[in-house]
Structures are given as structure tokens and as C-alpha cells.
Structure 1
Amino acid sequence: MIVTPSKVEVVAPVKVAEHKIHQFVQSKREWIVRALAKIAAKSQQHETLAPAVYGHGADIPYQGVSYKLTVRPTKLKKIKIEFSQEFIEFIAHVPDALMIHDHSAEIKEALIRWMKKESKSQVEQLVNRYAEKKQLFPQTIKIKTQKSRWGSCGIHNDIHINWLLIIAPPEVLEYVVVHELCHIKIRNHSAHFWALVAEHLPDYQSRRYWLKKHGSSLMMGL
């Protein structure tokens, strides 16, 4: 028996009577209900955090919260993104020439550029906060677009961080930065490594759990 969101498929020998197949399905009814519930829950976990259209009133995910997007015309030649601390919203200043056309894709690209820049700034602040405690100084810090990893530490102590972490709560980005810094000293995931992480972040396990639970949605990006 194969259960999908749209149908329940039963594979049976040709000679089996149809009423026997119906009886079999009825006998498995509770199991089918549980299977459908698991499929639905998994689907929700992989639901994208990004809006369908990047226009006025869209919800933009940032640091674990959704903020409204306000679109305003501007005399500038390219889109400028601003995060307003006063009104707690994102503002996309869109050139007049673009306002008469569909500018969703252009706003999305501008938001990604803004978030990558903001990611670099926040990661550098976190490195400055934690590196000195155990002399965990990276050679370089790079913000990357990665499809399957949140961060990495190269053999020359180059730290790479996935910019999508800027969408997650701040403590999750903090955990990944500390995680990679600790790899400068310990290259594996032994008990000694996790003890070093815990020296910096005693509650790292809850942050790690958040990433495991919501990582699939986060990885889908903007």
C-alpha cells in the first residue's frame, strides 16, 4: 500500500476480488489516517518562509520574525532596501521607471543583497565577541550561498557562513558561528568539541534543535 497526499494506492494480484481490496483498505484505515497526518506535518515543516510576491504588504522573514514590506517610489536609479527601526518594517525604495512594471523579482534580488551584507556585519560582530575567549581566530570570514550546509571551517581556518541564517532567530546564527569557531581548535564532533561549544553557549542544544526542526524551510530561502 502506498499513501500520498492525493491518493491511497493498493497493489494486489489480478485475481483478488475488488470487495476484498476494499475490506483490506478498511482494515488499514487507522494506519492510513496516521500516515496522512505524518505527510501533512512533514509538508508544513518544509513550507517556504518566503512570500509568493515581493510587493507592498508582503511579509519578509528576518531574524525569526516577519516584517511588512512597504514599497515607495524614488528618484534613485536602483532599488534601495531599508529596515526601518522606527516603523519596524522593510522599505523598498523603487525607481519610478520600475514602478509601472512588475518589480517583484528586482525587490527580491535587492533584499538578498541587503541580507548578505547584514549577515557579514553580524557574523563579524559575533566573531569579535567569541574568538578571543579561546583564541579561535579565523583566517577569513565569508558569507556564502550554500544549498546543504550552514557553515564550514576550512583547513586554513577560513570560516564560511550561510547567509540564510539571517532569516533565523539571532541565537541560531550565533550558534553556527560559535560552532565553526570551535572547529578551529577541534576538527571533529567529539565530546571535547561539544564541551568547547558549551563553554561559549551553555544552551547550544536548544539552538541546534531549532535548526534541525526548521532548517528545511530555512534552506528554501527567499
Structure 2
Amino acid sequence: MGLRVEVVRSVRRTAGLHIVGTDLQVRVPEDLGDERVAAILQQKRSWIRSKVAELKRVPPHRTKELVSGESFPYLGRNYRLKIQEGHQVGVCLSGGYLKATIRPTEQDEHQTLRIQQYLENWYRSRALERLQDKTNRYAQQIGVSPAGISVRNFKSRWGSCDKQGQVVFNWNIIKAPHSIVDYVVIHELCHLIHPNHSKDFWQLVGRFDTDYLGHRQWLKEQGVKLL
């Protein structure tokens, strides 16, 4: 098929196929067997082929070189990277730039790895801070109380919510515009009430994000650029 397939089992009533980045995610009820999953994939071969064709038309994602002047997104805005030498190493957002400070002794490949590490640490820190704020705000509006909020590096999804009420977000979502981040937060919090993707679930999401369909579509089309 040309896609990596990930099967996600959770408390839900129906099966659903979703393109997340360049992966095919098959979301199914917990008790659905592998044979039934395979049958669903067989039934949806035409749909899967059409999605593979769409992905092939998307320009390939360029790997960052991590040099001064490159552009990096944060909450929907792009910031130029400025590399400088110093002893207070790390990344900060200052003067409209993402400034990466490295030690003078760090050169070539070692320098590139350090900058990559500093950028990821910065993104993770900002993601946790912003997502905690947004989650707390929307939790009050929706009337739920998540047991915990954290971030991690998912390969093919933007968030998850388990039976214990732990909400986990993909830290890369912090690169997206505010409205997209809000949609992901609302989506996961609504799972605390409806642990599925039923009609009632989407109606609840729509109460707090009237353009959730547009935001879902944005993630399908642009999400791969955030990873």
C-alpha cells in the first residue's frame, strides 16, 4: 500500500481509518481481532490507494540543515534561527529570532547535534507550558478534570487520553497556529466524557470549536510539516 500501518485499540464502538502524517492509523475497538482488522484494510483498499496517490503529490519534506537563517515555526509564526557562541547554551526566543547559543568548541556534526538537541528541548518546554495553560482553561469550560498533562514525541498522532484521565500531547503540535492547538486540546478533553468518536463526541467538540472540521482538515494536509 505504501503506508506504514499503525493499529490503535481503544474504548470505542467503531473502526476508523486516518492518515496521520505519512502513516495509516487504524483505530479500532479493544476487542477487535487482527483478522477483522485485516478485513477492514482489504475493504478499504481503494480509499487507501487514493490517499497514497495524494501523499505522492505532496512535495517531500526537506530536512533542516540547522544553520543561521533557516525558518522554524512556533504557534503558527515562522522565526529565523540565529546561531551564536557563548557559555549560556540553549535556545531562546528573543528579538524575533530563535537564538541558539553553543560553546565555541562545538563544531561541524557535533554542533549540529547540539543545536538539534537545544531546539527540541526548547520546543518541549514551551509545548508543556502552553498546553498546560490551554488544557486548564478548556477543562473548566468543558467541565472535566484531567488527571495529568504531559508531552511526548508521537510518530503518528497529536494526542491521547487514557482511562485514568491522563492527557498526553505530541510536542510538535506547538508549531501549529493557536486555533489548531486549541482544537487538539479540546479533542482530547472531550474524550474524558466520550472515549470514542461517536456522534455525541463530535457534537461536544463542535460546541467548543465551531470550525473543528476545518482544523481537522488542516492537520491532515499540513500536519506532516510539523513533524
Please report the TM-score for the alignment, with normalisation by the length of structure 1: 0.73
Give, in angstroms, the shift of residue 46 of structure 1: 5.7
* Separation in 1, partners of 2:78, 2:136: 28
Which of 68, 75, 89 in structure 2 is aligned with 1:63? Answer: 75
- Contact kept in structure 2, 1:54 and 1:108, CA below 8 Å: yes
Given residue 173 of structure 2, which amino acid in structure 1 is its aligned partner?
A: L
Identity of aligned residues (%): 30
Given residue 167 of structure 1, which amino acid in structure 2 is its aligned partner?
A: K
Other structure's SS at 2:180 match: helix
> Which residue of 2 is the match for residue 83 of structure 1?
93
Give, in angstroms, the shift of residue 112 of structure 1: 0.5
Structure 1: tracts of 5 or more residues without a match: 1-37
Q: Choose between structure 1 and 2: higher strand proportion.
A: 2
1:126 aligns with 2:138: no
* Separation in 2, partners of 1:49, 1:182: 35
* Separation in 1, partners of 2:183, 2:142: 16
* Separation in 2, partners of 1:212, 1:74: 40
1:165 aligns with 2:211: no
Structure 2: tracts of 5 or more residues without a match: 1-51
* Separation in 2, partners of 1:44, 1:104: 30
Cα shift readout 1:55-103 (whole Å, capped 9, x = no counterpart): 2212222223321111111023xx310111xx311001111221x4441
Cα shift readout 1:25-74 (whole Å, capped 9, x = no counterpart): xxxxxxxxxxxxx96x63463632652x1122122222233211111110
Distance 1:46 1:187, change over 3 A: farther
- Contact kept in structure 1, 2:146 and 2:167, CA below 8 Å: yes
- Contact kept in structure 2, 1:54 and 1:105, CA below 8 Å: no
> Which residue of 2 is the match for residue 42 of structure 1?
55
1:193 aligns with 2:201: yes
Please report the TM-score for the alignment, with normalisation by the length of structure 2: 0.71
* Separation in 1, partners of 2:77, 2:97: 11
* Separation in 2, partners of 1:63, 1:148: 20
From the CA coordinates, give the structure whose radius of gyration is larger: 1
> Which residue of 2 is the match for residue 215 of structure 1?
223
Number of aligned residues: 175
Distance 1:43 1:105, change over 3 A: farther
Other structure's SS at 1:118 match: helix
Other structure's SS at 1:213 match: helix
1:72 aligns with 2:80: no
Give, in angstroms, the shift of residue 178 of structure 1: 0.6
- Contact kept in structure 2, 1:55 and 1:71, CA below 8 Å: yes
